[in-house]
Amino acid sequence: MAARIIAYRIGLFTLLRELQYTLSRAKEEPLAVGYVPGFQALRDDWKLILLEEIDMLDILAQAQAAVDKADGGLDGFAGRVSRTVDESTSGNTRKQLRTALFKNKPLAKFRRPVLGGQLASMSDWAETLAKCGVPALIAMAPEAEMLVAAGEDAENQRKSAQSSNRNFRDVGHRKQFIDKVNAARKEAHGGLAKLPFEHPALPRDFAEGFFYSEPPRDEEETIDEVKTSIAELTAQLEERQALLKKLEEEAEAEARADEERLAKAQIAEELEAQAKALLEKAAALKAQAKK
């Protein structure tokens, strides 16, 4: 049996255990000391890969922080624009603006993406607001331009960080290092597997002992262990259920707010139509009175 192939997605500290185990066994076995320098070099190189991965995690975290900040700014701004549209416009003007700005989506659904589609939908907001003819909204156009620019910068930062991380893992130093580890393990296993033929006192599975494997459980899980595991899983389930309930309540509240807004808009339109009809009727009566 050959040495187990290390997967590219292995965690680095799990990989350290694999390396350190083989290195420690080789140091204790005179017949295997020839493999010590190679695995010691890999053990030392592991530190460099770890530092590079930490740098990569820093870049990813910084990018995500920028994304979350930019998305929060866009979400808050979208909410303020929505309220200003309702407070400063009515009738067809309100309909047209909400269609142009929110693409016929409820505010909660419009704000749901983290940048992405929301950022794309808001890319023309500065121009739309600047040309809408509503002073309160025109005043918000510069802020829209600033927030969209910040969102685009954050999105580019995230894409760059994700691309660098993929390269590091899929073709870069991390992947290359794991290839070296697998090659060294294969070579060591092949050489160690020959030793039982040269030294008959050695067991046939002599080579396997130099590579880490999970120790088997001596006993089955106890009732208390199972109960503890169930309690932990139940606590996690309750936490997720509470989060789900919170999200559902927020979505329901947003939906109700949208329904109320649409109902008010419809009532306003009906009142405007009635007022227009009354004005026309009054004008007709005045005209008749003059005859």
Render pLDDT for 134-170 as a digit per residue (tens, 0 to 9). 999 999 999 999 999 999 999 999 999 999 999 999 9
| Same-domain check for residues 95 and 16 | yes
Q: How far apart are CA 107 and CA 136, in angstroms?
A: 19
| Same-domain check for residues 142 and 201 | yes
From 198, 214, 230, the end of a domain falls on: 214
| Same-domain check for residues 239 and 276 | yes
| Same-domain check for residues 22 and 157 | yes
The runs of H, that is alpha helices, within the chain are: 12-28, 36-88, 91-102, 107-110, 117-122, 125-130, 135-138, 141-170, 173-198, 223-290
| Same-domain check for residues 111 and 240 | no
Render pLDDT for 75-112 as a digit per residue (tens, 0 to 9). 999 999 999 999 999 888 999 999 999 998 899 899 98
Residue 284 lies in a domain: yes
The total of other beta-carbon atoms located within 10 Å of residue 23's CB is 19
From 214, 233, 262, the end of a domain falls on: 214
Residue 5 lies in a domain: no
Q: Any idea which residue has 């930062």 for tokens?
A: 157
| Same-domain check for residues 185 and 55 | yes
Q: How far apart are CA 62 and CA 82, in angstroms?
A: 30
Tokens representing residue 207 in the block: 């080579």
The total of other beta-carbon atoms located within 10 Å of residue 6's CB is 16
| Same-domain check for residues 76 and 152 | yes
Would you say residue 215 has pLDDT above 70? Answer: no
Q: Cβ-count burial of 47 within 10 angstroms (0-12 exposed, 13-18 middle, 19+ buried)?
A: exposed
* 65 CB-near residues (< 8 Å, 6+ apart): none
* Amino acid identity, position 119: L
The total of other beta-carbon atoms located within 10 Å of residue 163's CB is 10
Tell me, rounded to whole angstroms, the distance of Cα 161 from its chain centroid: 13
Q: Which residue has the higher pLDDT, 279 or 36?
A: 36
- Largest Cα separation within the chain, whole Å, is 130
Give the chain's domain count.
2
From 214, 237, 265, the end of a domain falls on: 214
Residue 280 domain boundaries:
222-291
pTM of the model: 0.69
Q: How far apart are CA 159 and CA 85, in angstroms?
A: 34
Average pLDDT, the chain: 89
| Same-domain check for residues 125 and 49 | yes
Q: How far apart are CA 77 and CA 224, in angstroms?
A: 53
